[in-house]
């Protein structure tokens, strides 16, 4: 294979060196056979000349669309875009590959890489979570289509992180509503975390915040019942200690509320649904 490493100058200026390297990369864009273009692209990826790689794979697809190398070039061009953080371009390329080659043995990887493109675009919880929802959908696609694969296992871990992220957003909005004394909107957000995101790290706080809101509204029965769920499922958590102290202030704490008990399978859902 031809080495495509771009040589920089001996200049100490980073800007000048980057310009020279870019120029060298552009100069290395070559014509050739399908095999040569493909190998050039692979070499460019190995030497981290990702822009050059995309150009070589593009040339291959343009000049040899029916070559046996064309499908791999489509996939690898998507990968090269991903390595450049050009996620929309990568998704477009990967979807083209999947539309043309749905039964390819590389389809699982293409679906997985597509999901990573969405996952990498997730923003912090203070911003819109559309990217998180798109990532969650794409990751679920991997799990559902290719169960038991290493791609599905890694996707499942990322699904859990996405769900935790979405729950964090709900908690952020819920706390804001609570501060604004919009208690109905706040409790709606907290219940969404409790019911829809039971496996996340935010459930204990959501239960505690729900108790806070119920107490502020004078709904002592709901406060006591929700506190019992928190104490049963998270007896040693900081949030349960906060809740128990709140109950004592309202003279609602009982001796039983302090006693942790063993969990039963599915108890959390059954108890919550039976109360509300």
pLDDT of residue 28: 58
Report how far apart the first and last C-alpha atoms of the chain are (Å, whole number). Answer: 67
Distance CA 209, CA 11 (A): 60
**What string of H, E and C letters represents the secondary structure of 129-180?**
CHHHHHHHHHHHHHHHHCCCCHHHHHHHHHHHHHHHHHHHHHHHHHHHHHHC
Judge whether 234 and 266 are in contact, CB under 8 Å. no
Distance CA 88, CA 93 (A): 9
Report the percentage of the chain scoring pLDDT > 70.
Answer: 81
Calculate ∠ Cα 214-218-222, nearest 5°.
45
> pLDDT band for position 124 (50/70/90)?
confident
Q: Which two tokens stand for residue 189?
A: 């957000």
Distance CA 132, CA 195 (A): 19
Calculate ∠ Cα 121-162-99, nearest 5°.
60
Taking only the tens place, the pLDDT of each residue in 219-271 is 999 999 999 999 999 998 999 999 999 998 888 876 555 543 444 444 444 44
Long-range interactions of 91-96: CB distance < 8 A, separation 24+: 91/117, 91/118
Give me the sign of the Cα torsion angle 171, 172, 178, 181: negative
Most confident of 28-42, 125-139, 209-223, 242-256: 209-223
Distance of CA 241 to the CA centre of its chain: 32
> pLDDT band for position 196 (50/70/90)?
very high
Distance CA 87, CA 132 (A): 14
- On the 0-12 / 13-18 / 19+ scale of CB atoms within 10 A, 174 is buried
Taking only the tens place, the pLDDT of each residue in 33-78 is 999 999 999 999 999 999 999 999 999 999 999 999 999 999 999 9
CA distances for 135 relative to 87, 122, 224, angstroms:
12, 8, 38
Distance CA 236, CA 270 (A): 21
Distance CA 174, CA 191 (A): 10
């Amino acid at each position: 294979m031809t080495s495509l490493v771009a040589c920089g100058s001996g200049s100490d200026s980073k800007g000048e060196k980057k310009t020279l390297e870019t120029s060298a990369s552009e100069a290395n864009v070559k014509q050739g056979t399908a095999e040569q273009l493909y190998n050039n692209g692979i070499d460019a990826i190995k030497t981290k000349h990702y822009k050059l790689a995309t150009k070589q794979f593009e040339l291959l697809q343009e000049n040899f669309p029916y070559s046996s190398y064309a499908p791999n070039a489509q996939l690898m061009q998507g990968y090269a875009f991903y390595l450049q953080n050009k996620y929309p371009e990568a998704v477009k390329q990967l979807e083209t590959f999947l539309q043309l080659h749905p039964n390819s043995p590389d389809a699982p990887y293409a679906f997985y890489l597509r999901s990573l493109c969405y996952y990498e675009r997730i923003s912090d919880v203070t911003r819109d979570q559309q990217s998180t929802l798109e990532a969650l959908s794409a990751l679920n696609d991997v799990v559902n289509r290719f169960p038991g694969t290493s791609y599905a296992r890694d996707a499942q871990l990322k699904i859990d992180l996405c769900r935790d992220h979405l729950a964090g957003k709900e908690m952020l909005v819920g706390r804001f509503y609570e501060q604004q004394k919009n208690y109905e909107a706040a409790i709606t957000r907290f219940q969404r975390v409790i019911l829809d995101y039971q496996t996340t790290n935010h459930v204990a706080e959501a239960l505690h915040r729900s108790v806070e809101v119920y107490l502020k509204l004078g709904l002592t029965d709901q406060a006591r019942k929700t506190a019992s769920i928190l104490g049963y499922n998270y007896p040693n958590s900081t949030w349960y200690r906060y809740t128990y102290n709140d109950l004592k202030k309202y003279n609602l704490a009982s001796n039983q509320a302090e006693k942790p008990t063993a969990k039963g399978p599915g108890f959390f859902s059954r108890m919550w649904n039976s109360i509300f």
